[in-house]
Structure 1
Amino acid sequence: MDTLNDRHIQSLDLSETLWDRVFTVAPLVIIGTEEGESYDMAPKHMVTPLGFGNYFGFVCTPRHSTFRNIQQTREFTASFPKPDQIVQTSLSATPRSDCYHKAEDILQSLSVLQAKTMRAPVIAGAYLYLECDLFKIIDGFDDYSLITGTIRAAYVDKDYLKVSEWDEREQLMKNPLLAYIAQGRFAKISETYNFPFPKNFKK
């Protein structure tokens, strides 16, 4: 086997932030948490299902109120917005200031609902909602941590529900997905293709 060595391949300096030097594709969700008598919402793209069971996780830092809120309440929501909600998703990242609580401005701009099984908020109009109990927090990724949750309840927009009778390509064409292109771009995914799995492949 030849060693990786090609004039089109460039070595990256790992003393700099690797993920700012390349494009990657990720989901984009809004994490909702209860914060005292109010709430907090924050967009996250380092998110993933954990296995094929009812577990979900995302990366956060103790510097963010999302992290501290979940430590205190031990629960959170995840809203998966649609592509036409990109502005609302961006507004959920509005920073706090000494003059106002973040939620006061978000309420002016976002359509926010309360989750069914907890006081944490969700964004109206998303295509998938998760209501999660904190499972565990895994520290040690420099100053970041992986927050994992057990999914208590889940809800989906019927147009996005996978049904065997529907053509998936046509369904996604009519109901596209929102993707985050790190760092700082987004995409509307409507054109999809069948993946060429090898024969007898099993998940």
Structure 2
Amino acid sequence: MEKKLKDHYVPLTTTSPIWDHFFTVAPLIIVGTKEGEGYDLAPKHMATPIGPSNYFGFVCTPNHSTYHNVKKNKEFSISFPLPDQVLLASLGASPRNADLSKSDYILSTLPTLKATFIDALFIADSYLFLECELFKIIDGFDAHSFITGKVKTAFVHKDYLRVSERDEQEQINENPLLAYLAAGRFASISQTYNFPFPKGFKK
């Protein structure tokens, strides 16, 4: 039997973006790119693996240097920071200074590591690092684009590596994950529950 929407649902107009009217849970990543003689690090939350294979993508805009850096150099790095590194992610979003490169006045203050396969930086002490070759850029989402890459190398901190012998809830409790609550809040996830998959479910 079909149910109707109750009175406590509020209709949203789609003539403007709807996303600032409620919270959604997203990852918070930092994209690293080569920029001129230096580097750039930019936080993103519209980001995801693409299917079960080793592809990863994020939303960007041609108004940002990250877009042009990836298009030129055809590679990018991804850092998944820890909850106590959220300030580092915020600093990566600092406005540019016309007199100094971002590398000089922001990145020089951040703890970084050099990627191993590509010419880009990671945020040091993140729990997961990905090095990606550009797969394709899909333009046309109004002013935004979807940038996708094939993961060429990946490194995960040993405390975050899933192993069958370890209790998953205990592992996450001891090693929390960072989540971004779009738009404008974040959370440290330490309490989780087993998902109730139906019997016979397969990926």
Q: TM-score over 0.5 for the alignment?
A: yes
Report the equivalent of 1:134: 134
User: How many angstroms apart in 2 are the aligned matches of 1:3 and 1:172?
Assistant: 38
Report the equivalent of 2:76: 76
Q: Is the 8 A contact 2:41 2:107 kept in 1?
A: no
User: How many angstroms apart in 2 are the aligned matches of 1:151 and 1:162?
Assistant: 19
Report the equivalent of 1:53: 53
CA-CA distance at 1:34 after TM superposition: 0.2
Q: Is the 8 A contact 2:177 2:189 kept in 1?
A: yes
For 2:35, give the aligned amino acid: E
For 2:28, give the aligned amino acid: L
For 2:128, give the aligned amino acid: L
Report the equivalent of 1:107: 107
Aligned residues: 203
User: How many angstroms apart in 1 are the aligned matches of 2:9 and 2:50?
Assistant: 32
User: How many angstroms apart in 2 are the aligned matches of 1:158 and 1:59?
Assistant: 29
User: How many angstroms apart in 1 are the aligned matches of 2:142 and 2:178?
Assistant: 29
Q: TM-score, normalised by structure 1?
A: 0.98
CA-CA distance at 1:182 after TM superposition: 0.3
CA-CA distance at 1:109 after TM superposition: 2.5
Report the equivalent of 2:156: 156
User: How many angstroms apart in 2 are the aligned matches of 1:162 and 1:106?
Assistant: 34
SS in 2 for 1:200: coil
CA-CA distance at 1:3 after TM superposition: 5.1
- Which range moved further: 8-17 or 50-59? 8-17
User: How many angstroms apart in 2 are the aligned matches of 1:100 and 1:36?
Assistant: 13
CA-CA distance at 1:166 after TM superposition: 0.3
User: How many angstroms apart in 2 are the aligned matches of 1:195 and 1:75?
Assistant: 35
CA-CA distance at 1:5 after TM superposition: 2.3
Q: Is the 8 A contact 2:34 2:120 kept in 1?
A: yes
Q: Is the 8 A contact 1:91 1:109 kept in 2?
A: no
Q: Is the 8 A contact 2:81 2:125 kept in 1?
A: yes
Structure 2 portions without partners, runs of 5+:
none
User: How many angstroms apart in 2 are the aligned matches of 1:108 and 1:137?
Assistant: 29
CA RMSD, 1 decimal: 0.9
Q: Deviation digits for residues 33-75 of structure 1, max 9, x if unmatched?
A: 0011101000000000001111000000000000000000000
For 2:66, give the aligned amino acid: T
Q: Is the 8 A contact 1:88 1:109 kept in 2?
A: no
CA-CA distance at 1:2 after TM superposition: 2.7
Report the equivalent of 2:197: 197
CA-CA distance at 1:101 after TM superposition: 1.1
* Same amino acid, percent of matched pairs: 58
Report the equivalent of 2:125: 125
Q: Is the 8 A contact 1:179 1:186 kept in 2?
A: yes
Q: Is the 8 A contact 1:113 1:122 kept in 2?
A: yes
User: How many angstroms apart in 1 are the aligned matches of 2:29 and 2:88?
Assistant: 11
